[in-house]
A and B are shown apart, each in its own frame.
Chain A
């Protein structure tokens, strides 16, 4: 049972020793801040990618040549639409235009609902074009021909990471800018009304056209999960090594005969404090320090990622997007994992040396 007076006394001792806690608090905040920022960014990107995949049709078909995705021609549409269960098949224009002046690739997506001379651009693209004085239009150059397209609208910065970085053009214009022929598409989207038939139809298409790459929504989501497990795994290993080093350092610092601390424990023991009381005091003090640092660091990470858009750290994840806003996604499982990986070892690194001091001979420690 936690005694109120023991709690208040622990706070008094904590206030007294506040300068001693500042170093570990600073390091602790830094570690949790970095960890939380990285996890916030990755879960935000993951969320946006998932949303984008969810907005696509159940089956997507690519053509590949020598393992590289290439344009797929219209002739496949007529054959695929014959397959039982398929409601509709349509071609999609999606590719990259190289903006030579900026030395950047611009992501172009075709949409039949947009006029031929207009386009909608993501906020990130809008900022990039403005840097090169393209405020209301942009000139695409393909095969010596100039395409002057007006910027009709800008996608809100708060939309997801994918739409932030795209230029939506009319299908025909997009096709010409990307140097596609009239009957070429980037990929085909297959609409299947009955979800339970998706796998069967995908298999059917694969068997009929072995040269095509058929991907179901489920597979794409699963690939995304695997990618994030793989990336997250690498990050976690690196981070665990850093954390272990920090806690070893902390443990060594605390156990390296802090004579004042040891004497204080011995004084309390001489006054009737049990080993259990000493551990409770240390637990209360360091739990408060770590929980405060944890909450502070998580809030700081939230502000850094979702309000300031993670300057510096953003470049590691989305280097080619200059103006991006991360969708504020908080995964509470991640917060629990951060808590377990930081607060628990921090408490152990402090309580074990204190326990060792508490069980040592009072008389010796008081000398």
Chain B
């Protein structure tokens, strides 16, 4: 469950988000739509606790994250959020396995190796586990990023422009993965302006953002 109330975010004199009020139920799939610079990524980064709002409240899985100290917000990110970036944000000179294992390094779960194998299998990247990320294709990098996002079995999956760096086939593959996540009961928030996500039955809501405001 994500509850956002009167949320504002400004950078210097620029207001990136204005009076955002949003309620996302557990297991819902939300697609945020809007042009570049409309505030979609800023909203996602606040939900993921990458940055703090200037004002307002945000409660995720009963945790008020707006003013969490660093040590707690790291734990929150590690345990609750699986983030898939547009440019994957993998460590290029590390192997696939090491990249996927990275969130487990600071996690306190048991059976980390089991979690790693499960995530690689689910993202269909096990066969490339020892390959350096820099040697992978775009689709393989995406699968590696997906495996890393789900390795700790988070309840919320956030994807920021996930298909922007992919071709049509890999984009369709990604949609299949999203459907899998949906089946697993995860809350999914996708920010995109790719039409591939339009009128999809697995999407519960489309939210349009314009100039930092939700317009529907």
Contacts and interface: CB of A to CB of B under 8 A. Distances in A.
Contacts of A272: 74-75, 77-79, 103, 106-107
B54 interface: no
A276 interface: yes
Contacts of A366: 50, 85, 89
A270 B50 contact: yes
Interface string B80-108: 00010100011101100010011111110
B45 A5 contact: no
A362 B105 contact: no
Contact of A271 (B51, B70, B78, B112): B78
B94 A271 contact: no
Contacts of B112: 5
A361 interface: yes
Given A272-B107, A273-B74, A9 B51 contact: no
Contact of B105 (A9, A264, A266, A275): A9
A363 B77 contact: no
Nearest to A267: B89
B208 interface: no
A270 B94 contact: no
A12 interface: yes
Given A271-B148, A362-B45, A363-B45, A5 B105 contact: yes
B98 A273 contact: no
A277 interface: yes
Interface residues of B, number: 30
Contacts of B74: 269, 272-274, 277
A362 B78 contact: no
Contacts of A269: 50, 74
Given A6-B106, A16-B94, A275-B70, A270 B89 contact: yes
Given A271-B78, A362-B51, A264 B45 contact: no
B91 A271 contact: no
Interface in A261-318: 263-264, 266-277
Given A9-B105, A269-B50, A276-B71, 17 more contacts: A6-B105, A12-B94, A12-B98, A13-B91, A13-B94, A263-B89, A267-B91, A270-B48, A271-B77, A272-B78, A273-B74, A275-B70, A277-B74, A277-B106, A361-B50, A362-B45, A362-B51
Interface of B: 41-42, 45, 48, 50-51, 70-71, 74-75, 77-79, 83, 85, 89-91, 93-94, 98, 101-107, 112, 148
Q: Which 7 A-B pairs have the closest CB atoms?
A: A272-B78, A362-B50, A274-B74, A16-B93, A363-B45, A271-B103, A9-B105
